[in-house]
Chains A and B, each alone.
Chain A
Amino acid sequence: QSVLIQPPSASGTPGQRVTVSCSGSNSNIGSHTVNWYQQLTGTAPKLLFSSNNQRPSGVPDRFSGSKSGTSASLAISGLQSDDEADYYCAAWDDSLDAYVFGTGTKVTVL
């Protein structure tokens, strides 16, 4: 059972802005960088954004993230059909001495 909680689903129409939340605790989000991953159906996860404002080359700046206290969020602006995927937050957890992933959010483009 994950210690990072995400909503199971989110949706929007093309062009809209969608946000995905990630709720944790002081031992993980409150103390460490939060990373966001995109997983298209049948493919390996892909690093999208880190809360230290690092975005891998090739990732559009439509994807952005923020962190406040023990929560983080991913924003997708200008939603496109290609953005339909599962999104996971992740962070190191000092209490568990483990890298923990969120429960995952399925983003649907209506």
Chain B
Amino acid sequence: EVQVVESGGGSVQPGGSLRLSCAASGFTLSLYWMHWVRQAPGEGLVWVSRIKSDGRSIAYADSVKGRFTISRDSANNTLYLQMNSLRAEDTAVYHCARDSLSGLDVWGQGTTVTVSS
């Protein structure tokens, strides 16, 4: 079965760091573009970051540029999101998603990040 499962969320104080993981199964993660998308409580979907299949073409939303880093481990078929200098406004459910080039076709259930003092 093709699926992705996120982990690594939790509660952290402002200024802290977290690393999210997205374990893929049923497909080879490195052959696809992969994205992180977040959703704050009661709010809409917001794109965070993308890594292309070449592993080098990376893009970030302006709101996280310079603080978040997307990466992948091909050996472990896992996508990561390193989040530093966290702010209260980063509080959200974070989803990873596979890009089929006709849309984000595989989504995980998400992992919850809460930034609060």
Contact = CB atoms under 8 A, between A and B. Distances in A.
Contacts of B110: 44
B105 A88 contact: no
A43 B108 CA distance: 9
Contacts of A46: 107
The main secondary structure of chain A at its interface with chain B is strand
A90 B102 CA distance: 11
Contacts of A43: 109
B26 interface: no
A52 B102 contact: yes
Nearest to B101: A33
Contacts of B97: 45
A96 B61 CA distance: 8
Interface string A84-110: 001010100000111111111000000
Contact of A44 (B46, B61, B95, B102): B95
The main secondary structure of chain B at its interface with chain A is strand
Given A44-B95, A44-B107, A46-B107, A88 B102 contact: no
Interface residues of A, number: 26
Contacts of A103: 44
Interface in B21-46: 35, 37, 44-46
28 contacts: A2-B44, A33-B102, A37-B45, A37-B103, A39-B45, A43-B109, A44-B110, A45-B97, A45-B107, A47-B100, A47-B103, A47-B105, A54-B102, A56-B103, A88-B44, A88-B45, A90-B45, A90-B103, A97-B59, A98-B60, A98-B61, A99-B35, A99-B50, A100-B47, A101-B44, A101-B45, A103-B44, A104-B44
Interface of A: 2, 33, 35, 37, 39, 43-47, 50, 52, 54, 56, 86, 88, 90, 96-104
Interface of B: 35, 37, 44-47, 50, 59-62, 95, 97, 100, 102-105, 107-110
